[in-house]
Amino acid sequence: MSLHYTWPPLTSIHRSELKYLLGLLRTIMPYDRAILYGRYAGSRMRSEIGGYELLLVTRSMPTVEGWQIEPMLDICFPREIREESRIRIETVQYEFMERSCRDSWFYAGILSEGIILYDNGSIGNPLPAARSLTPEAAAGLRRRYEFLYGAAGDMLRTAVRMWNKHRPELAAVSLSHAATLMLRAEETVFYGAKNQIHTTQILPLFKRVRHYSRALANGFRPEDEVYAEFFENLTAYRDYEAIDPAQRLTWHKYKSYFRRLRAMQECIKISCQRHIHFLEYGRTLAKTVTEAEASERPAERDEDNGHGRKPAGAQELTQAVAGKQTVSVVPAEPDGDNGEQKAVAADIDKKIDQKVDRYSDKDKAAYGSDPAEDIRERFDPGTD
């Protein structure tokens, strides 16, 4: 017998659809509690791509993870007949969630803003008390992020070296591991160091982390055939010799995949640094910059006879932010659109042109009548 809770204000269609969805989910994986969060719960911690967001809580370890349930729903509850096409599922054991909510912004946010839609009464307390992340927990996330993000950069550089040594199989493996490491870095920052999904596939990992980065969600759409192949090939490259020869890494794929990973790396850096700053100081990076500039501007006016130039020290953010013991759980500032990704790609193209221009006349003569294209084909996109 389920316990009854007050549902959020929803249209009758959405309410009926959610009730049907909860029943359908019980046939896939028995759960003891279902929590609605995100947009349809009216909470601030919501996905950048929208849709229903549900956390299924169990007493024992879940038998299925959320990323495995989502494609099942697309089969037994097709998107074409749903009012809301996007459904996001997360699963967790109750005790694990209770232990992790001190160092996981994701669980802490759900405990603060989530709404219980179903509970069979077997777990006990409706929800653990909401807890704020401590500065120590935020610092731990930063250290973990810097390790994973740095390792991803090392793998990209290794891919460059291996390609230059005519070892495409090792370059392919390095690109694959670089993608995994940078996505794990994003997952750590937004979900917590101990809350990782268990998969060796890159696509489910990407789909999970894109919810909190607008640049990732808009710039790398797995619904597009090009990006679906991109993620599929990156996973396959770990066992390079076993894949179809037609899928193996060519110069065209190497150049294209390298550029995409560089763009992804930059998107992840921006979103993670913004969010870690928010977790450490309880305010967005943009707000911190504004307050830092405002606090320094009066002194600058006195020094410059009222002209009010922007102070050089306004970017020293850590000096402008007072230390806090805890921070409330609300989402960090949105990332912006895929213009960031395009800017990164344009910068890489500019570097290619500069590299071509630096070749000597003797080198150019060796490539024939159209040297620029040949030089571009031999250019190493990882070097400046």
Check: CB of residue 52 under 8 Å from CB of residue 16.
no
Judged against a pLDDT cut of 80, whether residue 52 lies above it is answered with yes
d(CA 331, CA 279): 9
Which stretch, 11-25, 95-109, 121-135, has highest mean pLDDT?
11-25
Q: Report pLDDT for 155.
A: 97
Judged against a pLDDT cut of 70, whether residue 324 lies above it is answered with no
pLDDT band for position 283 (cuts 50, 70, 90): confident
Choice between 143 and 102, residue whose per-residue pLDDT is larger: 143
Which of 119, 334, 99 has its CA nearest to residue 193? Answer: 99
Domain 135-277+335-350: homologous superfamily in CATH: Nucleotidyltransferases  domain 2 (1.20.120.330)
Question: Stretch 280-286: mean pLDDT, rounded?
Answer: 77
Query: Do the first three CATH levels of 12-119 and 135-277+335-350 match, i.e. the same topology?
Result: no
Q: Which fold has domain 12-119?
A: Beta Polymerase; domain 2 (3.30.460)
Judged against a pLDDT cut of 80, whether residue 120 lies above it is answered with yes
> What are phi and psi for residue 105, nearest 5 degrees?
-60, -35
Torsion of Cα atoms, 264 then 270 then 272 then 277, to 10°? 180
Ordered by start, the domain boundaries in the chain are 12-119, 135-277+335-350, 284-320
Choice between 9 and 126, residue whose per-residue pLDDT is larger: 9
- Rounded to two decimals, the pTM is 0.77
pLDDT band for position 44 (cuts 50, 70, 90): confident
Choice between 104 and 129, residue whose per-residue pLDDT is larger: 104
Choice between 142 and 134, residue whose per-residue pLDDT is larger: 142
d(CA 144, CA 245): 37
Tokens of 280: 């450490």
pLDDT band for position 301 (cuts 50, 70, 90): very low
* Residue pLDDT, tens place only, 55-71: 999 999 999 999 999 99
Mean pLDDT lowest among 66-75, 167-176, 187-196, 301-310: 301-310
Judged against a pLDDT cut of 80, whether residue 131 lies above it is answered with no
Q: Give me the helix-helix angle, 168-191 and 251-281, nearest 10°.
A: 20
Residue at token pair 């450490």: 280
Residue at token pair 């967001």: 53
Tokens of 93: 């054991």
